[in-house]
Amino acid sequence: MIKPFSEPFALFQDWMAEAERSEPNDANAMALSTAGADGYPTVRMVLLKHVDERGFVFYTNYESRKGLQLIANPRAALLFHWKSLKRQINIEGAIAPVEDSEADAYFASRDRSSRIGAWASKQSRPLAGRFELEKRIAEYVAKYPVGAVPRPPYWSGFRLTPERIEFWSDKPFRLHERSVYYREEDGWRNQMLFP
């Protein structure tokens, strides 16, 4: 039985802690679904980097396809699927950029090669060949040979502020358990759903 909480974040943290113990790789991997101004949806995997009562944070290049879609249509959905636990969590809500100080702190914590890669990659744009990327990496390694690598102005994070969070747990005979939380003005409302 999915245990009810007054708000969904405690349950999310419980499930994430279990996933971190059981999943072989990237328990924080989540499918991010977006739609651009044209309304066409796309989905890809990203990594959750922070969660608290304000929402779920991930980072990207704002000039990438997902970055441009999120700027044009600041709503998205996230899906965590943990096969080893037979569980998933679906989260829907509004998107907003994180504060510069938050993005700076996370960027500084990344491996140096990842920071160089953020400068070198023109994410989602056409690439003539692998050599073009390797050349750009070499240029930024030369530009930042030692010391700090600053955060590019087009690289930052987004926070999804959830309006709906659904917890799903596999049960025999497809009689799955579904518990959904809806954000309301004075907090959260929880409801069970038919499978």
Tell me the backbone φ, ψ of residue 154, rounded to 5 degrees: -95, 5
pLDDT at 175: 87
Largest CA distance in the chain: 60
Report the CATH number that the domain containing residue 174 is assigned in CATH.
2.30.110.10
- Residue 75 is assigned to a structural domain of this protein: yes
Domain with 163, as residue range(s), is 8-100+154-193
Match 């005979």 to its residue by tokens.
173
Query: Which tens digits make up the pLDDT trace of 60-99?
Result: 999 999 999 999 999 999 999 999 999 999 999 999 999 9
CA 126/CA 187 separation, integer angstroms: 45
- Residue 148 is assigned to a structural domain of this protein: no
Give the mean pLDDT of 95-105. Answer: 98
- The set of catalytic residues is 174
- Residue 118 is assigned to a structural domain of this protein: no
The tokens for 140 are 């930024």
- Residue 38 is assigned to a structural domain of this protein: yes
Which position has the higher pLDDT, 85 or 1?
85
Lowest mean pLDDT among 1-10, 96-105, 144-153: 1-10
- Residue 114 is assigned to a structural domain of this protein: no
Kindly compute the dihedral angle of the four CA atoms of residues 178, 179, 184, 186, in this order, to the nearest 10 degrees.
180
pLDDT at 136: 96
pLDDT at 2: 77
> For the chain, first and last CA: distance in Å?
13
Query: Which tens digits make up the pLDDT trace of 130-180?
Result: 999 999 999 999 999 999 999 999 999 999 999 999 999 999 888 899 999
Secondary structure element (H or E) that encloses residue 114, with its range: helix 112-120
State how many domains the chain has.
1
Residue whose C-alpha is closest to residue 30's, from 81, 72, 84: 81
- Residue 115 is assigned to a structural domain of this protein: no
pLDDT at 77: 98
Work out the burial of residue 50: count CB atoms within 10 Å of its CB; fewer than 13 is exposed, 13-18 middle, 19 or more buried.
Answer: middle
- Residue 135 is assigned to a structural domain of this protein: no
Whole-structure pTM value = 0.94
- Residue 138 is assigned to a structural domain of this protein: no
